[in-house]
Structure 1
Amino acid sequence: AWPFFGQYMEKLLVENVAPSIRASNTHLQTFTFTKVDMGEKPLRVLGVRAHPGTHKKQILLDLNISYVGDVQIDVEVKKFFCKAGVKGMQLHGMLRIILEPLLGDVPIVGALTMFFIRRPTLDINWTGMTNLLDIPGLSSMSDTMIMDAISSYLVLPNRLLVPLVPDLHEAAQLRCPLPRGVVRVHLQGARDLRSKDRFMGGLVEGKSDPYAVLRVGTQVFTSRVIDDNLNPTWDEVYEFIVHEVPGQEMEVELFDKDPDQDDLLGRRVGVWGGHADPTSPQWFPLQEGDRGRLHLRLEWLSLMSDTSKLDQV
């Protein structure tokens, strides 16, 4: 099946993506894909987890996917005599597939809905990247920009719908379902963070200038920076729209603000997984950091169709 996927990707890039790129920037009007080869190494599914659906006509599947491919994609911008491309790529993430609606006749399933629950990790081996960055308007191009483009299509709340039957009446609802609720996050503070600022060649340990980045799907909030403090207090409140329960989680990253490149102090994934106790602030040990704790209070707010209950908020 992988060679057929390669044919599909070549057609997609040449017929859909290339025209969009040419229209996005006047300097890219001569942009073309000269080679699209998805290689011999297919995408792998490392694990599958099934969840009970919200109703009987639905099946939820989470696929832990990993792609370490020998893909080769070459591009050319003739106006600037520029050639560049991609030679090798890695993509890892959790892909949710919803089988809905279930039918009483073949093909049994009316449509497939696919999306990443949170942003996947992406690593691209570029070739000729310096040539590409010399083109006006592309100096800020990076893996992050590519990841943002993927997120705009395939990370919640965005989703890809593939109808399997003609005249699917539920198509509009499946493409844009109502959110499940809102999680209100009280970012209270952190304790015992690692000092990243050092002086005199590392002999003198200073402090850090921490700030937090909170993410649910494509929704991102960034706290203010607290200067010279390993035990910061933010007391800030954010609200995230939640589209999928179970599955959608919140990720919090703490960074040390620096003039050149910010340093990661620690990360916590899975702070919230579908429930919240509004009365109990909690301390969460940081992951990917050898020290530090994060202080949060979470509230779950359900959506209601009765507008008269707005007075109770």
Structure 2
Amino acid sequence: MGLFSGIFLGMVLGIALMAAWQRMMTYRSAKRIAKAVDIKLLGSLNRDDLKKICGDNFPEWISFPIYEQVKWLNKQLSKLWPFVADAATLVIRESVEPLLEEYRPTGISSLKFSKLSLGNVAPKIEGIRVQSLNKGQIIMDIDFRWGGDPNIVLAVEALVASIPIQLKDLQVFTIIRVIFQLADEIPCISAVVVALLAEPKPRIDYTLKAVGGSLTALPGISDMIDDMVNSIVTDTLQWPHRIVVPLGGIPVDTSELELKPQGTLRVTVIKANDLKNMEMIGKSDPYAVLYIRPLFKVKTKVIDNNLNPVWNEVFDLIAEDKETQSLIVEVLRN
């Protein structure tokens, strides 16, 4: 859910800035000698051998040799994690609850944090790929793994019941793309762009537990939260969508970093034939839902008691990236 936007925004910026600063400020000449020895030893193994050794969860730096290991960064991150976690918690409190409200499922009247702590376990960076300087930018891909021990409790209110729900066993596996917009003035970075790469697909695992009650008090709540998590990750964080954050108090125009509309897709929904009847008595009342981004859904009128509905409705949808976005059409019953 929007929680993950805040987690990535709060902690990844700190991680990425540490990595970028180290990249720009030191040549690491002594470490290159030791790394060359390691690479020579690894060179005796081919990629298939490494995959067999590591299993299915082999790191990106093995799968793609241009990723570099960053043991120094993980060591520093472990030391600084209490401070990074506190700062990230503040960011989440301020920025995520509006997203929870924006993406709140129908049927839930209120969705807020009751408890929020990122725990004591720091994320692990399996590898970093820094691309060449491009038009005043540094583009960095981070192989991010986090199996933390956060204490996250959501206060969920609905018409039928109110219940606190805890997120447990949170695990995040994803490639984070960070783009640094460079500047001539200190701190030399005027803005940062953060996004999750679509390939490999971000993996966010967790379990839900009702605190002092049962999830059955709110039927379907687990599916609602799962759908909301997927919608927010896809709609706000997954590339080409991104979060743009100005830094350092340097006046900067971030419009070039934002995702911009590329055109309008006009869709005509004509009809559907031979729909499956989902009713015990009578026939289904179908309607169609269309969207490119989950936040901007449109729907046709409902056709009562008809398995061959005719709509003949026209919709205009904004497209922002023709290479990665697609039209989703769902036929549902009222």
Comparing both structures, which one devotes a greater share of its residues to helix? Answer: 2
Comparing both structures, which one devotes a greater share of its residues to strand? Answer: 1
